[in-house]
């Protein structure tokens, strides 16, 4: 069951589109990662879903309510953590959460317990009396997350939760997000690099220049990137024999030979003027590969049968980031959901 | 503590109002303003009192003269301080929230635009009211010394409070339309100066000229009495638009006619019966209340719109 169903959702500012009619579906209980470079439209998408801005085209149904028709109802079930942290002067950590809980209509009798629980959840209980302005950036991020939870939302929208924080804080944030998922919340988060959300998100959407390139469950999206991966083989033996063994295999492209860290040139040249085979020198072949796992296994079998002594056979999958940096039109992108 | 106090009073204050009041009273700015303002008003009062004592004023007439001067100074200071201090609290009301990145966070909560505006207005108007009430002991001294009637003092306080409300509403409205706190402050102060001082100076210059046109030898009015009446009403309303000129005109009218509630305008050469108009302070209070409601309504409408259209 989907908690968000966006249909032709788009946003333009002064006639300039920054989000083109996107269609996506966010399953309930998912950790949905939206990946894209700066200006891809990630924040715009989150602001649309948070009802802070109105769509120029299309609509989205959030938990049964229309973004256009019932923004107030959606607002009550959404928690939004913006990229930039807003704070009032003279407010302590405790006051900050209490103030927003009050703004969300949490009764006075329940507020103290809620503040306590939320500060414990984000591990800021020991800093409750400190002024918010004195917290580190990572702590502010966690406090901002606690603030977004004051209305016990079903849907959490987190804008760049890993941006600008150190690796340890990133790990803590990931753990926190997983914990929130276990509490039954659906989380939509944005990231500018896919490595931040690798292994965390159950679903991924990739935005580029306001367009949705691909979306779907994480393994599915990852498998698309497996179509653009590199096979790296290190071996002892004759380079020509090794390249001949694999170059006619379907899915193998752009073979490069590296010897002692040196690129010895394209394989076609080598075929005309073979390099002397020096069995004691470790060599490496790197080839772009778009075949299946079975075909990769066949490559290894062919290499072994050719007589070269294979030391390692590695597959290096490309990440979503590679797709993001392809120039427009060059990316071999599958159709969006 | 403030929460407990409010809950006991059962005052329907929204959380943002409580926050605004708390922030205001926690900031050194509020105390600095109050201290400087009270020091100046008290210092001037003391100087007048000492000067009157050295001049050997002891009779009832002298006492009432001192009381009247004291009244003018306290009310004048109240009008100027309230008009010019209020914008410093309201100019960042909405634009400041945007600059601090807190506006989005507020809009995602259950707080409505109406509550946001109410909170900002309560804080700014509340502080202005505090300034007015802080000088009430000095005003009561003027009443004790004589020369000033209670209704006069009440009218003056009415003008000052209406001005505080109007300049608060104006500042909040300009703040809702400005991109930054700085631009909002500049625009608010330019408009406020124009209304408070510009209008008063303009009326001082223009009023004798208009009087000459109406009561003098101008052929324009002789051929068109209706135009003369319209001109007088226009001048009168413009005069009532500034707290300073409204207070001066109301006081002058009181001294000349002995009536505080209305003003009588005699037409040129007795061609038409006299024209009765409410006293300038009444016009100002009504005008400022209406304009305040209008500005607040416009602000709420503006905040009701999605953030991207602001």
Beta bridge partners of A25: A5
Beta bridge partners of B114: none
Asked if the C-beta of B109 comes within 8 angstroms of chain A's C-beta atoms, the answer is yes
At B260 the pLDDT is 84
Smallest CA–CA distance, residue A90 to chain B, in Å, is 7
Asked if the C-beta of B226 comes within 8 angstroms of chain A's C-beta atoms, the answer is no
Could you give the C-alpha distances from B172 to A77, B150, B194, B293, in angstroms and in order?
30, 33, 17, 12
Express each pLDDT in A135-169 by its tens digit: 998 899 999 999 999 999 999 999 999 888 888 88
The answer to whether A48 and A11 have CB atoms below 8 angstroms apart is: yes
Contacts of A104 in chain B (CB under 8 A): 109-110
Smallest CA–CA distance, residue B15 to chain A, in Å, is 6
- Residue from B209, B212, B214, B199 nearest B247 by CA: B199
> A317 falls in which pLDDT band (50, 70, 90)?
low
Q: What is the mean pLDDT of chain A?
A: 83
At B29 the pLDDT is 83
Smallest CA–CA distance, residue B7 to chain A, in Å, is 10
Q: How far is B197 from B23, CA to CA, in rounded Å?
A: 31
> A190 falls in which pLDDT band (50, 70, 90)?
very high
At A266 the pLDDT is 45
Contacts of B103 in chain A (CB under 8 A): 86
Q: How far is A142 from A125, CA to CA, in rounded Å?
A: 11
Q: Where do you find CATH 3.30.70 in chain A?
A: 229-317
Asked if the C-beta of B101 comes within 8 angstroms of chain A's C-beta atoms, the answer is yes
At A114 the pLDDT is 96
H, E, C per residue of B129-141 = HHHHHHCHHHHHH
Residue A202 has pLDDT above 50, yes or no: yes
A85 with B101: Cβ contact below 8 A = yes
Residue A213 has pLDDT above 80, yes or no: yes
Asked if the C-beta of A104 comes within 8 angstroms of chain B's C-beta atoms, the answer is yes
- Ranges of chain B with pLDDT below 50: none
What SS3 state is found at B264?
strand
A86 with B103: Cβ contact below 8 A = yes
At B12 the pLDDT is 62
Q: Hey, what are B88's tokens?
A: 């410093």
The arrangement of strands across the sheet holding A57-62 comes to A16-27, A2-13, A57-62, A65-66
At B88 the pLDDT is 84
A103 with B26: Cβ contact below 8 A = no
- Name the residue with tokens 């694999």: A246
Contacts of B4 in chain A (CB under 8 A): none
Q: How far is A155 from A20, CA to CA, in rounded Å?
A: 23
Express each pLDDT in A269-309 by its tens digit: 444 445 454 446 788 888 888 777 788 888 898 888 888 88
H, E, C per residue of chain A = CEEEEEEEEEEEECCEEEEEEEEEEEECCCEEEEECCCCCCHHHHHHHHCCCCCCCEEEEEECCEECCCCHHHHHHCEEEECCCCCCCCCCEHHHHHHHHHHHCCCCHHHHHHHHHHHHHHCCCHHHCCCEHHHCCHHHHHHHHHHHHCCCCCCEEEECCCCCCCCHHHHHHHHHHHHHHHHCCCEEEEEECCHHHCCCCCCEEEEEECCEEEEEEEHHHHHHHHHCCEEEEEEEECCHHHHHHHHHCCCCEEEEEEEECCEEEEEHHHHHHCCCCCCCCCEEEEEEEECCCHHHHHHHHHHHHHHCCEEEEEEEEECCHHHHHHCCCCCCCCCCCC
Query: What is A229-317's CATH number?
Result: 3.30.70
Residues 6+ apart with CB under 8 A from B229: B267, B272, B275
The count of residues in chain B is 310
DSSP code per residue over B6-30: HHHHT----HHHHHHHHHHHHSHHH
Q: Is B249 exposed, middle or buried, given 0-12, 13-18 or 19+ CB atoms closer than 10 A?
A: buried
Q: What is the DSSP letter of B261?
A: S
Q: Hey, what are B109's tokens?
A: 């909560």
CATH class of A2-213: alpha beta
Is residue B273 left, alpha or beta, with left meaning phi > 0 and alpha meaning psi from -120 to 50? beta
Q: How many CB atoms lie within 10 A of CB A129?
A: 9
Among B105, B114, B120, pick the best mutation site for testing chain A contact (most A Cβ within 10 A).
Answer: B105
Q: Where do you find CATH 3.40.50.300 in chain A?
A: 2-213
Parallel/antiparallel/unpaired status of strands A282-289 and A229-236: antiparallel
Among A48, A99, A105, A157, pick the best mutation site for testing chain B contact (most B Cβ within 10 A).
Answer: A99
Q: What average pLDDT does range A179-200 have in this prediction?
A: 87
Q: Beta-strand (E) ranges in chain B?
A: 262-265, 275-278
Q: Which of A52, A88, A89 sits opposite B108 (nearest CB)?
A: A52
Asked if the C-beta of B304 comes within 8 angstroms of chain A's C-beta atoms, the answer is no
At B5 the pLDDT is 61
Q: What is the DSSP letter of B282?
A: H
Q: Which of A84, A90, A108 sits opposite B26 (nearest CB)?
A: A90
Q: Is A335 exposed, middle or buried, given 0-12, 13-18 or 19+ CB atoms closer than 10 A?
A: exposed
At B58 the pLDDT is 58
Give the residue extent of every domain in chain B. Answer: 16-21+28-196, 201-282
Asked if the C-beta of A15 comes within 8 angstroms of chain B's C-beta atoms, the answer is no
Beta bridge partners of A65: A62
A/B interface, count of CB pairs below 8 Å: 71
Q: What are phi and psi of A34, to 5 degrees?
A: -110, 115
Taking CA–CA distances from B109, the nearest residue in chain A reads A104
Regarding predicted confidence, which is higher, A260 or B253? B253
At A263 the pLDDT is 45
At A282 the pLDDT is 82
Asked if the C-beta of A105 comes within 8 angstroms of chain B's C-beta atoms, the answer is yes
Asked if the C-beta of B219 comes within 8 angstroms of chain A's C-beta atoms, the answer is no
> What is the Cα Rg of chain B in Å?
22
Asked if the C-beta of B107 comes within 8 angstroms of chain A's C-beta atoms, the answer is yes
Could you give the C-alpha distances from A276 to A206, A235, A239, A308, in angstroms and in order?
47, 15, 9, 14
Q: What is the DSSP letter of B267?
A: P
Asked if the C-beta of B100 comes within 8 angstroms of chain A's C-beta atoms, the answer is yes
Q: How far is A117 from A105, CA to CA, in rounded Å?
A: 17
What SS3 state is found at B180?
coil
B109 with A76: Cβ contact below 8 A = no
Asked if the C-beta of A145 comes within 8 angstroms of chain B's C-beta atoms, the answer is no
At A334 the pLDDT is 36
Contacts of B95 in chain A (CB under 8 A): none
Q: Out of A28-37, A46-55, A319-328, B25-34, which region has the weakest mean confidence (pLDDT)?
A: A319-328
What SS3 state is found at B226?
helix
Regarding predicted confidence, which is higher, A329 or B82? B82
Asked if the C-beta of A47 comes within 8 angstroms of chain B's C-beta atoms, the answer is yes
A102 with B15: Cβ contact below 8 A = yes
Smallest CA–CA distance, residue B254 to chain A, in Å, is 48
Which element (helix H / strand E) includes B85?
helix B60-90
């Amino acid at each position: 069951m989907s908690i968000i169903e966006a249909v032709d959702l788009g946003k333009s500012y002064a006639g300039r589109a920054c989000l083109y009619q996107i269609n996506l579906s966010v399953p309930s209980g998912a950790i949905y990662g939206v990946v894209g470079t700066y200006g891809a439209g990630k924040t715009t998408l989150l602001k649309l879903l948070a009802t802070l801005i109105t769509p120029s085209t299309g609509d989205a149904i959030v938990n049964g309510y229309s973004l256009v028709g019932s923004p107030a109802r959606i607002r009550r079930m959404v928690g939004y953590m913006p990229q930039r942290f807003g704070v009032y002067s003279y407010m302590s950590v405790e006051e900050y959460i209490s103030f927003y809980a009050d703004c969300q209509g949490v009764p006075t009798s329940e507020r103290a317990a809620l503040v306590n629980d939320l500060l414990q959840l984000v591990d800021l209980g020991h800093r409750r009396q400190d002024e918010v302005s004195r917290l580190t950036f990572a702590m502010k991020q966690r406090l901002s997350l606690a603030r977004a939870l004051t209305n016990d939302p079903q849907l959490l929208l987190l804008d760049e939760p890993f941006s600008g924080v150190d690796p340890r804080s990133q790990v803590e944030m990931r753990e926190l997000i997983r914990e929130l998922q276990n509490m039954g919340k659906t989380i939509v988060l944005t990231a500018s690099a896919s490595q931040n959300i690798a292994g965390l998100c159950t679903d991924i959407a990739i935005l580029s220049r306001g367009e949705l390139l691909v979306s779907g469950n994480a393994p599915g999206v990852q498998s698309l990137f497996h179509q653009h991966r590199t096979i790296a083989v290190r071996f002892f033996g004759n380079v020509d024999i090794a390249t001949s063994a694999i170059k006619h295999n379907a899915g193998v492209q752009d073979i490069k030979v590296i010897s002692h860290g040196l690129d010895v040139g394209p394989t076609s040249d080598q075929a005309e003027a073979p390099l002397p085979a020096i069995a004691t020198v470790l060599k490496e072949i790197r080839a772009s590969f778009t075949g299946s796992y079975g075909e990769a296994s066949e490559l290894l079998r062919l290499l072994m049968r050719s007589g070269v002594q294979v030391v390692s056979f590695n597959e290096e999958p490309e990440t979503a980031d590679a797709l993001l940096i392809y120039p427009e039109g060059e990316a071999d992108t599958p159709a969006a959901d | 503590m403030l929460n407990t106090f409010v809950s006991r009073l059962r005052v329907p204050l929204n959380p943002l109002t409580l926050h605004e009041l708390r922030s205001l009273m926690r900031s050194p700015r509020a105390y600095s303003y109050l201290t400087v303002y009270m020091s100046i008003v008290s210092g001037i009062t003391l100087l007048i009192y000492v000067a009157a004592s050295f001049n050997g004023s002891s009779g009832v007439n002298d006492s009432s003269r001192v009381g009247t001067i004291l009244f003018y100074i306290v009310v004048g200071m109240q009008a100027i301080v309230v008009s010019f201090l209020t914008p410093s609290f309201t100019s960042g009301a909405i634009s400041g929230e945007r600059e601090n990145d807190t506006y989005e966070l507020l809009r995602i909560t259950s707080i409505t635009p109406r509550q946001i505006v109410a909170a900002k207005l309560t804080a700014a108007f509340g502080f202005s009211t505090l300034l007015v009430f802080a000088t009430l002991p000095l005003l009561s001294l003027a009443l004790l010394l004589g020369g000033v009637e209670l209704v006069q003092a009440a009218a003056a306080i009415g003008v000052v409070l209406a001005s505080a409300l109007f300049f608060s509403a104006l500042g909040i409205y300009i703040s809702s339309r400005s991109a930054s706190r700085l631009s909002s402050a500049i625009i608010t102060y330019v408009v406020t100066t124009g209304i408070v001082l510009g209008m008063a100076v303009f009326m001082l210059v223009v009023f004798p000229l208009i009087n000459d046109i109406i009561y003098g030898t101008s052929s324009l009015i002789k051929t068109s009495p209706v135009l003369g009446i319209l001109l007088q009403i226009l001048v009168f309303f413009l005069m009532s638009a500034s707290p300073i000129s409204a207070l001066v005109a109301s006081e002058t009218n009181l001294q000349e006619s002995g009536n505080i509630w209305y003003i009588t305008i005699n037409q040129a050469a007795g061609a038409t019966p006299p024209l009765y108009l409410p006293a300038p302070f009444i016009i100002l209070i009504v005008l400022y209340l209406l304009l305040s409601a209008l500005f607040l309504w416009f602000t709420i409408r503006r905040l009701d719109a999605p953030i991207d259209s602001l």
